[in-house]
Structure 1
Amino acid sequence: MMHNRLKRMFSILAAVIPLFLGGCAGLEKSASKVPERPFVFQLAVNDIVDLATGEKLSFDALMEKLAKVRVIYVGEVHSREADHEVQRRIVEWLWRRGRRIGVGLEMLPRSTQENLDRWVRGDLDEAAFLKAVDWEGHWGFPFSLYRPLFGFAQEKSIPMRALNAPPAVVRQVSRQGLASLSDEQRREIARHFDLNDAAHRSYIEQEYHAHAPGNIRDAQTFYEAQVVWEETMAESLALWLVQEPLDHVVVLAGKGHVNHRFGIPERVRRRVAHGYAVVLPTALNEEPERLTVEAGDFLIVTAEEKPFPGHGRRLGVRLKSAADGAGLRVVEVVPGSRAEQAGFQPGDRIVAVDGEVVRDWEALHQRVQRPASTMVFTLEREGRRIEAVVHFEP
C-alpha cells in the first residue's frame, strides 16, 4: 500500500508523469507511529468504519463526527474518481448545514492563489482558470476529476486555498538538497522544517529504497524534498486557520501526505492548536481491512478498481503542452521506462494514440486508460512522423 500512497511524490520528484496522465479533537501524540495490528472486518463497498472503535457508520453518522473537528483531511489517490466523489460529498454536506467551510488544495502552489480566488468569484471560466494557474504544469492530473467539487465551490462561493510549494523548488531539493536553495527560493516555501520524526523518515525511506527513483541524489535529499512539500502545505493551512473564521476546512491531498498523520496533519497541529480527523477512502482491492487507527480516523470503502489507478498505465515521461497548442511535448524520458523502451526521445511531440489525435491532457488520459495491452503512439520528431509501440500489462 505504501507504493499507492506516495505515487504523486514520484511523479513530481522523479519526473514520471502518471498517465490518465491527526486524530479527532483533543488528540495529542508525542511520536508518530505506523500500524502495528490490523483490525479484521467483513467489509463491503460503501462501508464506513470508525477505526478507533471498529463501529460501522452511516454517512450521516460519519458527518456528525466530522462536524466536531475543524480540519478534515480526505486522502486521495489522485486518479481515482471514487476518492473525489467522497471529498465532494463531505464538502456538500457541511455546506448544506450552514457551516462556514473552505477547501485546501495540494494541487496548486501558493503563487496561484490570486487566480484561484478569481475562479471562486466566477471571474474566470474553466479554460481561462486552467491556463492562469498552469494546471497541467503544476498538477497534470485531469481537471475532470476535480471539476464537480471545484464547480460546487464556485457556485456556492466556498473559499479555496492553494497550499503547496512550487514543484521546481521541490525537485531541486530532491536532487541537490535543502542547502542548494537560494534566498529567493527559500521564501517560496515554509520557514520551519521538522526533519526529526523517525517514523515519518522510515516511511519515506522505505518508499525510496523500494523504487530507487531516478533524478534524485539520495535518500536524504528525497526525504528533505518530502518535508519541504509537507511543511509548506502545513504552514499555508495553519496561516489560513488563523486568518479566516472558518468552521471547517476540508483538505484534498494525496494519501501519502495524510496517512499516519505525520505528513501534513501533525505539522499543522504543532503550529495551531485545533481538532482534526483523517478520512481514508480505500478501494476494496486495496486491503482496507489492514488499516488501523494509527493510519487514520475513518475508513470509507469504495468499489474495487483494476488495474489500480496510477499503476500499469505509466509511460515514464514528463510532458508539457506544445507551444502551438496541438499535442504534448516530451520534456524528459525516464531511463528504463516504457517510453524509453518504445523509443521516445525528449523533444518528441505526441500527436496521436492508435490513430486518434491527441491535442491535450484530457485526450491523452482517455486514450491511455483504455484496457489495451499495446498502443501505438504517433510522434513528431524533427519534422517527420514516427510510430512508437508501447506495451502495458494485460
Structure 2
Amino acid sequence: MPQNSSLSRQPQAITTYFDYQIVSPNNKTITLEDLSREIKNADVVLIGEWHTHSAIHRFETELLHTLFLQDPNLTLSMEQFSRDSQEIVNQYLAGEIGETTLISKANAWPNYESDYRPLVEFAKFNKLDLIAANAPDNLISCIAREGLDYINRLPANQRAWLAERISTKQSAYKRRFMSSMHHGDERQNNKQFAAQMAWDETMAESIVRYLDKHSDKQVMHIAGSFHVENGLGIAASILRRAPGLKVVIVTPVGVEDTLKEGGGDYRLQVISPPQQFVKNENRMAYFKSISTRNNNLQCIF
C-alpha cells in the first residue's frame, strides 16, 4: 500500500453516512492524526463499532493506516474471527490460501467483504499479525442456553477456545447488561450475561496473552460497541489480567447526541443507524424468531 496518506488533516463535516468526527475525552474535535499522536503510547486501542456502519468501518481502516505510519509495531485484533480459526487466518495472511477459503473455513461474518476486508488486506500487505480473538459462536450460544456449566463438559481442545477465567459476579457492566434486556426471565438473562462475559473474557485474554509474548507491539482491537464502552467489558477484563497495560477506548455516538466531558472514551461521532423497529409487534416477532433458531441448536457435550 502507498505510504503517502491522503487522509484529511482537518475535521470534516458530517453530511453523509460515510462521514465521522473524532471527539476527545475533554470534548474537543480532533483530527485522525491528533488521535494517533495522543494514543501513541497505548498498549491496547479498543474500537467499539456499530456493525455494518459505513463511517465506522472507514474510520477503523484509516486509523489502522495512520497508526501504522506512526509506528509499524502494530497488531490487529478482531472480534470477527474466533480462536479456532487462528491457523486459517495465519494461512491467509501468509498467502497460502485464498479469500474464499478464508471466508468459508474461518466462518467470516456475512459483511466481511464489504466491511472487514480492508482491515485484513492492510494487515496482509503490511505483514501485521492478526489476532482471532473471539470465542466460537456455537460455544457462546450453548452457554447462553445452558449457562457456564456447559463449558465443564467440553473436551480440552474446545475448552481452550474460551478464556480460562470467566467472571459473572455483580458489577457495573452486569447491571448495564441486565437493564438492556427486553425479554426473558432473570434466570435466562443470567445465562445470557454468562455468554456475554465468555465473549469479553476470551477477547481480553487473547490480547493479554499476545502482549505477554510481544510486549513491543500496540494492539488495535475491533469489537461491538457494548463490549468496550466506558471502560467496561473487554477493557475491564484486560485490566484484571494485566493492570499495568494502558488501554484507550473509542466508541461511536450519534451526531445528534449532546456530548459532555468525562467518561474517558474518545468518541466517534457519526450519523446514527436507522431505527430497528417502529412497531412493538415487529420487535417481538423478531425476538421470537431468534429464540426459535436458538432452540434448534444442538449442544452435544
Q: Normalising by structure 2, what TM-score?
A: 0.80
Question: Which residue is 2:9 aligned to?
Answer: none
CA distance in 1, matches of 2:287, 2:211: 44
State the superposition RMSD in angstroms: 2.8
Question: Which residue is 1:279 aligned to?
Answer: 250
Question: Which residue is 1:293 aligned to?
Answer: 262
Question: Which residue is 2:56 aligned to?
Answer: 83
Q: What is the 5 A alignment of 1:225-374?
A: 225-272=195-242, 273-285=244-256, 287=257, 289-290=258-259, 293-294=262-263, 296-302=264-270, 304-305=271-272, 307-308=274-275, 311-312=276-277, 336-337=285-286
Deviation by residue 1:145-187 (Cα, 9 ceiling, x = unmatched): 1111111111111110011111111111111111133142543
Write the letter of the residue equivalent to 1:300. Answer: L
Q: What is the 5 A alignment of 1:187-198?
A: 187-198=160-171
Residue pair 1:47, 1:301 contacting (<8 A) in 2 also: yes
SS in 1 for 2:230: coil
Q: Quick one: percent identity of the two aligned structures?
A: 23
SS in 1 for 2:232: coil
Residue pair 2:32, 2:63 contacting (<8 A) in 1 also: no
Question: Considering only CA atoms, is the larger Rg found in Structure 1 or Structure 2?
Answer: 1
Q: How far off is 1:93 after superposition?
A: 0.8
Write the letter of the residue equivalent to 2:55. Answer: A
Question: Which residue is 1:384 aligned to?
Answer: none
Q: What is the 5 A alignment of 1:43-54?
A: 45=14, 46-51=20-25, 53-54=26-27
Structure (1/2) with the larger helix percentage: 2
Q: What is the 5 A alignment of 1:197-208?
A: 197-208=170-181
SS in 1 for 2:285: coil
Residue pair 1:109, 1:166 contacting (<8 A) in 2 also: yes
Which of 105, 122, 144 is matched with 1:174 structurally?
144
SS in 1 for 2:219: strand
Residue pair 1:104, 1:249 contacting (<8 A) in 2 also: yes
Structure 1 residues 55, 134: CA separation in 2 closer, same or farther (over 3 Å shift)? Answer: closer
CA distance in 1, matches of 2:273, 2:29: 26
Question: Which residue is 1:357 aligned to?
Answer: none
CA distance in 2, matches of 1:79, 1:166: 20
Give 5+ residue unaligned stretches, structure 1.
Answer: 1-42, 314-333, 341-345, 348-394
Which of 42, 45, 65 is matched with 2:38 structurally?
65
Write the letter of the residue equivalent to 1:192. Answer: R
Q: How far off is 1:217 after superposition?
A: 5.7
Which of 69, 73, 81 is matched with 1:108 structurally?
81
Residue pair 1:281, 1:300 contacting (<8 A) in 2 also: yes
Write the letter of the residue equivalent to 2:262. Answer: V
Structure (1/2) with the larger strand percentage: 1
Question: Which residue is 1:141 aligned to?
Answer: 111
Residue pair 2:39, 2:248 contacting (<8 A) in 1 also: yes
CA distance in 2, matches of 1:291, 1:228: 32
Deviation by residue 1:72-106 (Cα, 9 ceiling, x = unmatched): 01110111111111111111012122330001110
Question: Which residue is 1:132 aligned to?
Answer: 105
Q: Between Structure 1 and Structure 2, how many residues are aligned?
A: 268
SS in 2 for 1:48: strand
CA distance in 1, matches of 2:160, 2:234: 19
Write the letter of the residue equivalent to 1:293. Answer: G
Q: How far off is 1:292 after superposition?
A: 5.4
Give 5+ residue unaligned stretches, structure 2.
Answer: 1-11, 15-19, 290-294, 297-301
Structure 1 residues 291, 163: CA separation in 2 closer, same or farther (over 3 Å shift)? Answer: farther
Residue pair 1:104, 1:160 contacting (<8 A) in 2 also: yes
SS in 1 for 2:111: coil
CA distance in 1, matches of 2:288, 2:241: 43
Structure 1 residues 338, 240: CA separation in 2 closer, same or farther (over 3 Å shift)? Answer: closer
